[in-house]
Amino acid sequence: MRPKSKNNKTLTAILLIAPFVLCYLVVFAYPVYKMFAMSFTDAPLIGEGDWVGLENYVRMFQHKLFYTSVYNTLYFVGLTVVPNTLIGLGIAMMIVRLNGMVQAGILILFFMPYILPVTVVTQIWQWVLDQQFGVAQPLIEAVTGKRISVFRDPLWAMPMVALVTIWWTNGFNVLLFISALRNIPQDYYEAASLDGASRFQQFRRITWPLLWPVTALVLTLQLILQLKIFDQIYLMTQGGPFNSTYVLLQLVYREAFGRNQGGYASAVAVALFVLIVIVSVLQYQLLKARGKS
Amino acid sequence: MSGVSLSNIKKAYGPINVIHDVNIKVEQGEFVVFVGPSGCGKSTLLRMIAGLEETTGGTIDIEGADVTHLEAAKRGVSMVFQSYALYPHLSVFDNMAFSMQIARRPKDEIKQKVDEAARILQLEDHLDRKPSQLSGGQRQRVAIGRAIVRQPKVFLFDEPLSNLDAELRVQMRMEIARLHNQIGATMIYVTHDQVEAMTLADKIVVLKSGSVQQIGSPLDLYDNPDNQFVAGFIGSPKMNFLKGIVNEPRVDGKITITLDDAPNTTFDITCGSATLNAGDAVTVGIRPENIGLEHDETVGPTVFLKPEFTEELGGVSYIHTQTKDGVRVTIERRSERNRVDQEDLQVTLPVRDLFVFDADGARLR
């Protein structure tokens, strides 16, 4: 077969990537552009609106619920990202020391919640934490001295949503850490134990630095995922009590679908987008610097 | 004083015994090589000395102290792993300094000792690099450096050269030998390569299926193997083995043997105290360099061999042949240029160079 001419090859290439490019433009690029564009208009949820310049943004920065939502979102991120990563690492380190079928069995147990739909997860935890019948109430009573309706208590609501989220998503982190731990050759630990390193020193000087790339990945994935918190809140607290669990995506949802303010909702969505970009870039730089030192 | 002594060492994984009653004495400053085919238990034995494997039975002494149940770090041994086990995130310096950093030694002392080891191993220019930036030979040296820095009583090497290419292996072999001369420490070295064993060892321990087959100096094992396994394992190319039967039983400490390939000739050979009956099968061994290409029935039996091919290496050549029964026989020739592999050969097996083994492989002598 003779080699095809250059033009011919280019045409083939274009044809081959066309389906993807088309899909990308239609279902991703255009909607994103539309969202940015809408944030400068007074459009309702469906349909066009008039250009209003920065009015939506000005309004957003004067909106008390916006600040509450930003604060709550960051609070939730703080409650979940680092604990979820550390708990995942701890569980993975325990599981990796088991052998064969036992290891697989325990891993499945820890991974199981991850495959459950969020509705099932929240239902389970609403039962567990139910003020009257919840199996966790005796524990809460033992610690605090009284039964607490956790999703109706501003102090308790967000930490409990965080707890449920960690329980739900931790299996995936465990999985990532286990595969990373398995990649560290046993020889390193044998050499280190000959060199007199205790278990803790082995962890600090070998396991932790060698796991760092995976830890950084888990932290970044978690951060992006948890900034987008919505489902659990919507299903368990609806932002309450007293807006103590109101988060950014919920604000977007309320403005767009509840109050038919497409333009304003878009502005809040843009703010969330910017927040995610800033925080992840910051974190990435921070982790990179740590990895080098 | 003994460097390391193993008495009645046993190792079992559940019901499976992998090391049976091993007794080895390693003198201080001696270079001892454990050699054997894969699965013979040599690495397990080394790891038991290191303290990385539990000892099921028997005692391990290092410089007079019983360390059988002491943890690895307190035994005063360093180990060089087959994979080198260098920490990929640490520089060469930090890799070598690891044990002293763990022990919280002063910085000056660490630097001085690492520099000293780096000088011995010619790694001075590479101290800042990561292991991934080094060649295989350099990594090997770092692994040895890490062992040197600790100034252990005993160095343990677990097949340290098997990840290197052939040329580098020869070079590193010499460096290890030089290192041993230089620092004079007790070294135990595990390999499956009998050439490494022969070239490095003061004393070789041949292992098979978890039992010691023979312990001795390299030439001892070569010249005077205890059994057919050692005879076949030590020496390259391998010793040739031919089948025979006992023709007449013991008379004056000798037996008369007939080779299957030379049914018309018999020869007498010393058999020590062994009692064999007429008709018992024996195996007769002869090293490739001892087979005479000239036909001389006065020195031993002669056998017809059919040449298959010849390896010409310049100074030495190996003629690979088969007997009429298909048994492979290798003949070594030195400094000869005329080809002799065109037609069947009638070779002589000098009786003084023959080794005779009974049906169980034990040497008759």
Q: Render pLDDT for B348-362 as a digit per residue (tens, 0 to 9).
A: 999 889 999 988 888
Residue A80 vs residues A30, A162, A176, A223, B208: alpha-carbon distances, Å: 33, 6, 17, 9, 57
Torsion of CA B223, B225, B228, B233, to 10 degrees: -70
Can you list the positions of beta strands (E) in B252-301?
Answer: 254-259, 262-270, 281-286
A144: number of Cβ within 10 Å: 10
What is the model's pLDDT at position A177? 94
Helix (H, G, I), strand (E, B) or coil at A91: helix
Convert the pLDDT of each residue in A163-194 to its tens digit.
999 999 999 999 999 999 999 999 999 999 98
Report DSSP state, residue B50: H
Q: Please state, in angstroms and as integers, the Cα–Cα distance from residue B305 to each residue in B291, B298, B347, following that order.
A: 11, 19, 7
CA B210 to CA B220: how far, in whole Å? 21
CA A227 to chain centre: 6
Residue A212: closest CA among chain B residues belongs to which residue? Answer: B89
Is CATH 1.10.3720.10 the right assignment for the domain spanning A66-292?
yes
Say how many CA atoms lie within 13 Å of A179 toward its Cβ.
Answer: 8
Q: Is the pLDDT of residue A2 over 70?
A: no
Q: Where are the alpha helices (DSSP H) in chain B?
A: 42-50, 92-102, 107-120, 136-149, 166-183, 194-200, 218-223, 228-233
Q: Answer yes or no: is pLDDT of B228 > 90.
A: yes
**Mean pLDDT taken over chain B:** 88
Which uninterrupted H or E stretch holds B363? strand B363-364
Closest CA to A45 of A254, A230, A229, A228: A254
CB contact under 8 A, B89 and A210: yes
Q: Given the DSSP bridges, would you call strands B281-286 and B328-334 parallel, antiparallel or unpaired?
A: unpaired
Question: Does the pLDDT of residue A142 top 60, yes or no?
Answer: yes
What is the DSSP annotation of B295-349?
Answer: --TTTS-EEEEEEEEEEE-SSEEEEEEE-TT--EEEEEEES--S---SS-EEEE-
d(CA B316, CA B27): 37
Tokens of B299: 């020195």
Which of A184, A188, A190, A195 is the best mutation test for B, with the most CBs of B within 10 A? A195
- Rounded distance, CA B181 to CA B176, Å? 9
d(CA A159, CA A113): 19
Mutate to test the interface with A, among B47, B98, B114 (most CBs of A within 10 A): B98
Nearest to A219 by CA among A150, A285, A160, A155: A285
End-to-end CA separation in angstroms for chain A: 55
3-state helix, strand, coil in chain B (%, to 5): 30, 35, 35
What residue type is A13 in one-letter code? A
Taken in order of first residue, the domains within chain B and their CATH numbers are 2-233 (3.40.50.300), 240-364 (2.40.50.140)
Mean pLDDT of A10-14: 91
What are the domain boundaries of chain A?
A: 66-292
**Each residue of B316-358: pLDDT tens digit?**
999 999 988 889 999 998 877 777 777 888 889 998 899 999 8
**Closest residue on chain B to A209 (Cα):** B89
Whether the pLDDT of residue B253 is over 80: the answer is no
Closest alpha carbon within chain A to B97: A195
Q: Strand pairing partners for A19?
A: none
Q: What is the pLDDT of residues B173-223, one digit of tens each?
A: 888 998 899 888 899 999 998 888 999 999 999 999 999 999 999 999 999
Q: What angle do CA A239, A242, A247 make, to 5 degrees?
A: 30
Could you report the per-residue pLDDT of B105-156, keeping only the tens digit for each? 899 999 999 998 898 888 888 899 999 999 888 898 899 999 888 888 999 9
The B-side interface with A (CB below 8 A) comprises 50-52, 71-74, 77-79, 81, 83, 85, 87-89, 98-99, 102-103, 146, 150
- pLDDT reading at B276 higher than 70: yes
The one-letter amino acid code at B106 reads P
Measured between alpha carbons, how far apart are the two ends of chain B, in Å?
33
Residues of B in contact with A191 (CB under 8 A): 79, 81, 85, 146
Strands B281-286 and B355-357: antiparallel
Most confident of A278-287, B34-43, B265-274: B34-43
Q: What is the average pLDDT across A213-237? A: 89
